[in-house]
Amino acid sequence: MREIQMVDLKVQYERLRSDIDKAIFSVINSSSFIKGPGVKHFEEELSDYLGVRNVISCANGTDALQITMMSLGLKPGDEVITTNFTFIATLETVALLGMKPVIVDPDPGTFNISVEGIARAITGRTRAIVPVHLFGQCSPMDSILKLAAENNLFVIEDAAQATGSDFIFPDGTRKKAGTIGNAGTTSFFPSKNLGCYGDGGAVYTDDDGLASKIRSISNHGMKMRYHYNDIGVNSRLDTIQAEILRVKLKHLDSFNKARQKVAAFYDNAFRECSNLVIPEREKQSTHIFHQYTIRVGNGLRDELKKYLQEHGIPSMVYYPAPLHMQEAYRYLGYTENDFPVTTLLCREVLSLPVHTEMEQDQLEHITGAVIEFFEKHK
């Protein structure tokens, strides 16, 4: 059996080696390392895939969030609502720009932001909602859009973990994650479902005016060379990374199907395990399993993690500590017990290996070890 990895990028590269190497060396031969033609081609191809008018690439997913907030004209003192159960980038961009992060608990089943929590958190100073499509499925966007419309708020989707996931509206209309609100952001970090071989990110929007502003701010505030219309930043996707992403984009749907197949295998294996809860699906979203995250009850999570490691199986805790208790964000004034759902999830969640190159013997080894652990702890 091949060594089990959380994400096996090496084996995936071996499968795509010919096309990846050709793409990389085409950039080296052209010496068009910055803003080469591959960047524009990738933006256009991703735009077609997502069904969105504009894709603006940038240096990483965190920059994508920051640039979007700057482009929407959010100001210091504005309140921005987001989830407590997410990677720090969602929160830190709000704080970095001098705005007030207002955090709410997630739904304990799907892990996505609670609509009821958003509704309770809205005040006269709220300007935007940032739902995070966590672990591979969309937040309940129809309800979030309704709240935003009623309160004149922007919606910025953090779709870094859900590239390729669909949200299905009650009338059957389907839209890709990140293309539903005023703007969506993503990351092309290597472990993402669509990942490059370094850092990368992008913003999506159907608003041409907003897209123009985003392009300007991401390029030092320039719309014309050496003429600065906005206070901007330097954030761009290198041509080599764009060309790698062009290759991988052609395989994205098959990548996501491979992850879904792994998730289905896990689901079937774990249904009878006591003290283990398999991932709950959003009723109006497809799930492309950036992570396969279980909940382990009865205080057994850390013991299971150790047991798996002893059997050559990696696992990860996303996320081990609530954001409201992080040292950098204590100034927000929250207390330890303010977010019981987040606190509980941080004690119970465990993500198992899920990627495009998993083999049957690996899956059987993982599920066998998990089942054996729970048999011993009945």
Q: What is the pLDDT of residue 95?
A: 98
What percentage of the chain has pLDDT greater than the value 70? 100
- Which CATH architecture group holds 9-249? 3-Layer(aba) Sandwich (3.40)
The confidence band for 290, taking pLDDT boundaries of 50, 70 and 90, is: very high
Domain ranges in the chain with CATH number 3.90.1150.10: 252-376
Region 243-268: mean pLDDT is 98
Chain mean pLDDT for the chain: 97
The confidence band for 364, taking pLDDT boundaries of 50, 70 and 90, is: very high
Q: What is the pLDDT of residue 320?
A: 97
Taking the C-alpha atoms of residue 103 and residue 324, their distance in angstroms, rounded to an integer, is 8
Q: What is the pLDDT of residue 184?
A: 98
pLDDT surpassing 90 at residue 240: yes
Domain ranges in the chain with CATH number 3.40.640.10: 9-249
Q: What is the pLDDT of residue 223?
A: 86
The per-residue pLDDT for range 192-229, each reduced to its tens digit, is 999 999 999 999 999 999 999 999 999 999 988 899 99
Residue whose entry in the numeric block shows the structure tokens 């929250």: 334
pTM check: above 0.95: yes
Longest pairwise C-alpha distance within the chain: 69
CATH topology of domain 252-376: Aspartate Aminotransferase, domain 1 (3.90.1150)
pLDDT surpassing 90 at residue 278: yes
What percentage of the chain has pLDDT greater than the value 90? 98
The confidence band for 135, taking pLDDT boundaries of 50, 70 and 90, is: very high
pLDDT surpassing 90 at residue 170: yes
Find the range with the poorest average confidence among 127-131, 138-142, 222-226, 306-310: 222-226
The confidence band for 52, taking pLDDT boundaries of 50, 70 and 90, is: very high
